[in-house]
Amino acid sequence: MPAAIASTAVNADPRLSGSIARASAAATACLERARVHPDKVDVLINVGVYRDENMAEPAMSALIQKNVGTNLDYLRSGTPALSFDLMNGACGVLNAVQVADAFLTTGDAEFALVVSGDTHPSGRHDPGFGYASVGAAMLLSRTAEPGAGFGRVSVASADADAPGVVGYADLDAVDTRGREMIWVRRDPDYAARLVEFAAAEAQRYATAERLDLSQTLLVASQPTPTFAAELAGRLGIAPAAVVTVQDVDGDPHTSALTLAYHQAVEAGRAQAYPQVLFVAAGAGLSVACSVYHRAG
């Protein structure tokens, strides 16, 4: 795959309210870090799930695109930009990488921006919600370097009758407060089942791709604070090669992979490994894996 990470950025500013504002701020910062003008972005994909005021329409991506200023006047810029929502929970970022790669491979896009963010629909902190209010952005571009960029993306789902986590609005209970209420139900054995399923799929992927896990940095989603460490233990990856999200209250959910990779790069940890194994796991149960070969 020619898709390479040009830049990442995150935003957890408590002064901002809502997933749209944080995802937009992260996207703007991501483009500024890469020194890429918003009009150069051909595709914008939003993978956030939990939305401001439980909004169903319009697509959140369109509102984020407006805030970022991505090709709002294509007659002026000369190129229209496509933006859309892609929702698959914690695995959404890697699904978006798959889609973005198709645009990059065919030459239909020079840059693709993957944005994410989840928030309680009320905009207020709710400890029972469980998800962190954070926005993240990953800018993808084409790379001509042989072997660099994302590898194959593998996605697997377990028995649909045992999703582990279900988020929903109880229409019989919301009364007139439907825009500010959400229910999230987690099965008691969710974390244990998810680690087991993710480890099996990640090991299968590593074997198929012939990855040397001793030379691999593990970047995983964070449904629980210990998930990444437990997953690494089952894969035989050293604790020093495991990235755990820092300074975030709750599960970063759809922003977890971007946030973890961003923090690893900022701390100088990613540069020590020739490749990164991204593993996302969440409700479904579902798991997505992809190796990322660093340039050079």
Task: List average pLDDT for each run of 10 residues in the chain, which is 296 residues long.
Answer: 90 88 96 94 94 81 92 71 92 96 90 93 78 93 84 88 78 74 81 93 96 95 93 95 87 94 93 94 92 83
User: Domain 3-147 is in which class?
Assistant: alpha beta
pLDDT of residue 74: 67
Burial class (CB in 10 A: 0-12, 13-18, 19+), 73: exposed
| Signed CA dihedral, 121, 127, 130, 135: sign only | positive
* pTM of the full structure: 0.92
Strand, coil or helix: what is 150?
A: strand
Can you name the residues that pair with 183 across neighbouring β-strands? Answer: 168
Q: How far is CA 295 from the centre of its chain?
A: 21
pLDDT recorded at residue 11: 94
The one-letter amino acid code at 63 reads L
User: What homologous superfamily is domain 151-293 in, according to CATH?
Assistant: Thiolase/Chalcone synthase (3.40.47.10)
Are the folds of 3-147 and 151-293 the same? yes
Q: Are strands 149-157 and 286-293 parallel, antiparallel or unpaired?
A: antiparallel
Q: What is the token pair recorded at 289?
A: 């894996």
Sequence spans of domains, the chain: 3-147, 151-293
The H or E element spanning position 48 is none
What's the number of CA atoms in the CB half-sphere (13 Å) around residue 236? Answer: 9
* Alpha carbon distance 56, 58 (integer Å): 6
pLDDT, residue 160, reads: 66
